[in-house]
Amino acid sequence: MQKLRQHSVIPGFGLTLGYTVSYLSLIVLIPLAALVARGTSLPWADFNAAVFDPRTLAAWRLTFGTAFIAAVIDAVFGVVVAWTLVRYDFPGRRIIDALIDVPFALPTAVSGIALTAIYAQNGWVGRWLEPLGIKAVFSPLGIVIALMFIGLPFIVRTLQPSIEDLDPAAEEAAALLGASRLTTLRKVVLPTLQPALVAGFVTAFARCLGEYGSVIFISGNMPMKTEIASLLIVTKLEQYDYAGASAIALLMLVSSFFLLFTVNFAQWWSTRRQRERV
C-alpha cells in the first residue's frame, strides 16, 4: 500500500532548506566568517597586543566579572519570581508577568538613561545610597545593576515552563515523609529545575557579556575602571583601529560559542534526565 504524502502548507524540503541556508548565510554566517577571517589574519604579535593590552585586560575583567555577578543574582531572584508567577494567583499577577518582558521591548539606551536617572546622587534610589557611601552610577555597581535588569527575563522565562511541569505531588510526598521546606527545596525542587536554571543562567550571562546600550550611560566609560569590552570595540573602531577591534570581537565570539555549546549541553542533559525518569 502506497504511503500517502503528508500535506504541508510550506514548500518542499529542498526549497525551504535553500531559503534557510541562504537567509542564515546572509544574516549570520557571512558576517561571522568575515570577522573570523579578519581576526585570524592578524600576526600573533598584533593579536596579542590588541587582546592582552592592559586596558583590554581591565575591560575583560570588568565585563566577565560584572556579567557573572549579575547572572548569579538574577538566578537567585529569578527562581523566586518565576515560582511566584507560576504557583500563586494574586491580583496584578498578569501585569507583573508582562513587566518581566519590558527589558526585551525597551531600547537599551532608554533603560540605561532611566537607570542612571534613578540611581544618580539625586535620583529616587541614589539619594538614599549616597549617605551610606554607596556610589551606584559611574561605578562597577552601576554596570551590575544594568546587567541585572537586562538578564532577569532570560532566567524567568526559562524557568517558568519547568516549574509548570513540576508535579506538586512530589513536594506533598516529601512533606508527608517529614522533610522540611528547606530539605524539599534542596532535594526535590532544585534538582528538577537545575537544567533549566543552568540554561537560563548561561543565556543571561551571554546576554550580559554583549550588552552595550544600557551600560554606557550608567558606567561612566572610564578606561581601566568602568570600560567594558563592547565599548572598547566601538572606541577602537572610532580610532580606525579595525585590527584591534576585530581581535577583541573574535575573542568575544569564541566566548559566545562556548556559552552556546553549554546551553545546548544543558538542554540535552535535561532531556536525557527526563527520559531516564520515564
2: left (phi over 0), alpha (psi -120 to 50) or beta: beta
Q: Is the dihedral of CA 71, 73, 75, 78 positive or negative?
A: negative
Label residues 100-124 b or e (16+ Cβ within 10 Å = b).
Answer: beebeebebeebbebbbbebbeebe
pLDDT level of residue 277 (50, 70, 90 thresholds):
low
Separation between Cα atoms, residue 101 and residue 192, nearest integer Å: 25
The pLDDT value recorded for residue 148 is: 93
Separation between Cα atoms, residue 54 and residue 167, nearest integer Å: 52
- Give the tens place of pLDDT for each residue, 71-82: 999 999 999 999
Contacts of 243 (CB under 8 A, 6+ apart): 38, 42, 46, 50
- Give the tens place of pLDDT for each residue, 100-146: 988 888 888 888 888 888 988 888 888 888 888 888 888 899 999 99
Q: How far apart are the two ends of the chain, measured CA to CA in Å?
A: 35
The pLDDT value recorded for residue 47 is: 80
Nearest partner of 147 among 65, 84, 83, judged by Cα: 65
Q: Where are the domains of the chain?
A: 9-41, 43-277
Higher local confidence (pLDDT), 110 or 38:
110
Average the pLDDT over 172-177 and give the result. Answer: 77
Separation between Cα atoms, residue 265 and residue 132, nearest integer Å: 44
- Give the tens place of pLDDT for each residue, 144-170: 999 999 999 999 999 998 888 887 777
Determine which helix (DSSP H) or strand (DSSP E) holds 152, and give its type and residue range: helix 140-165
Fold of 43-277: MetI-like fold (1.10.3720)
Give the CA count within 13 Å in the CB-facing half-sphere of 101. 7
Q: CA gyration radius for the chain?
A: 23
Looking at this protein, which amino acid is placed at residue 192? T
- Give the tens place of pLDDT for each residue, 194-212: 888 888 898 899 888 888 8
Nearest partner of 111 among 103, 122, 119, judged by Cα: 103
Give yes or no for residue 98 having a pLDDT over 80.
yes
Give yes or no for residue 270 having a pLDDT over 80.
no
The pLDDT value recorded for residue 76 is: 92
How high is the mean pLDDT of the chain? 83
Contacts of 235 (CB under 8 A, 6+ apart): 227
Contacts of 226 (CB under 8 A, 6+ apart): 62, 138, 139, 140, 142, 143, 219, 220
Separation between Cα atoms, residue 207 and residue 70, nearest integer Å: 11
The pLDDT value recorded for residue 260 is: 78
